[in-house]
A = this chain, B = another copy of it.
Amino acid sequence: MKKYKKSDLETYTLGTTLTLEGLNKKVKYAKRVYIHSKQEKNETYEKIIKICNTNKIEIIFSDKTINTLSDKENCFIIGVFEKFNEEIDYSKNHVVLVNPSNMGNLGTIIRSSVGFGICDLAIIKPAVDIFDPKVIRSSMGAIFNLRFTYFDSIEEYLEKTKGRSYYPFMLKAKTVLQDVKNEGIYSLIFGNEATGLPDSYLNLGTSVIIKHTTNIDSLNLDNAVAIALFEFTKNDFK
C-alpha cells in the first residue's frame, strides 16, 4: 500500500483510537486493518480485533505498511476505509467553508462543528481534500459523524438551500456576533484562511463580525468558527 493520494478510492486512519472510532461509526466502509508488531494487546486493540472478526474485515500484521503510511513513530494501527460520502441534510443547520486550504484547520473545524451538534458541512471548491489522512487525524475521528458535500460554487450551494438564514463571517460586516438573533435554520459561512470572504458576501443574508482589538489582523479560522458555533448553539447546551 502506498501513501495517500487525492485520487485514491480509499483513505486511512492513522492510530489506534482513531481506527476504533472509524470502525465504530463507519464499519460498512472499512476494508482492512494493519497492525504493527509494537501494538500492545490492550482494551482498544481487543475491541478492534472483535469488530474486524464480527464484520469479516481483513487484519494484516505489517510493520512495513505502517512505516510507509505514517510519519509518526507511535502509530501502530491503521484502518483503511472506502471513501464514504453521505450528502448533507438540507433540513439541518450547516457550516459552509469557502475555499479552505489548510488540512489541520479543516479537521479542527470538523471536530468543533460535530462537537456543537452541527454535523453537516458544505465545502465550496477549490478546497482542500477532506479525505486526506491529515484531516481525518486532526478531526480526532469527528469526521465519522459528519455529512459533507463539495459544491463547485457558492451559487450552486445557495440554489439548493433556499429558505434558510445565511450568516457570512467577515471583518467588514456590520452586525456583531453577540447581537445576532437567529430564528430557524441557518448556515454559518467562512472564507479562506488567508483572504476571508470576498466583499460580495456582504449582500448575502446577515454578515457577522467577531469583534476584537486592532492588535491582531484577524482570528485564526478555526478559532472564529468555534466561537460562532458556541454562540449559535449555546441555548442547546444548558
- C-alpha spacing A221/B226, complex, angstroms: 11
Of B108, B119, B217, the residue contacting A220 (CB under 8 A) is B108
Least CB distance, A116 to chain B, in whole angstroms: 6
Chain B residues positioned under 8 Å from A1 (CB to CB): none
User: Per-residue CB proximity of A100-115 to B under 8 Å, as 1/0?
Assistant: 0000100010011011
Name the residue of chain B whose CB is nearest to the CB of A118: B213
Alpha-carbon distance between A238 and B212 when the two chains are bound, in angstroms: 10
Are B114 and A213 in contact, with the CB atoms below 8 A? yes
Closest approach, in angstroms, between the C-beta of A27 and any C-beta of chain B? 17
Q: What does the 1/0 interface line of A218-237 toward B look like (CB < 8 Å)? A: 01101110110011001001
- Interface pair B213/A116, CB less than 8 Å apart: yes
18 A-B pairs within 8 Å (CB atoms) are namely: A111-B216, A111-B223, A112-B216, A112-B223, A114-B215, A115-B215, A116-B213, A117-B212, A142-B215, A177-B230, A177-B234, A178-B234, A178-B237, A212-B237, A222-B223, A223-B226, A230-B230, A230-B231
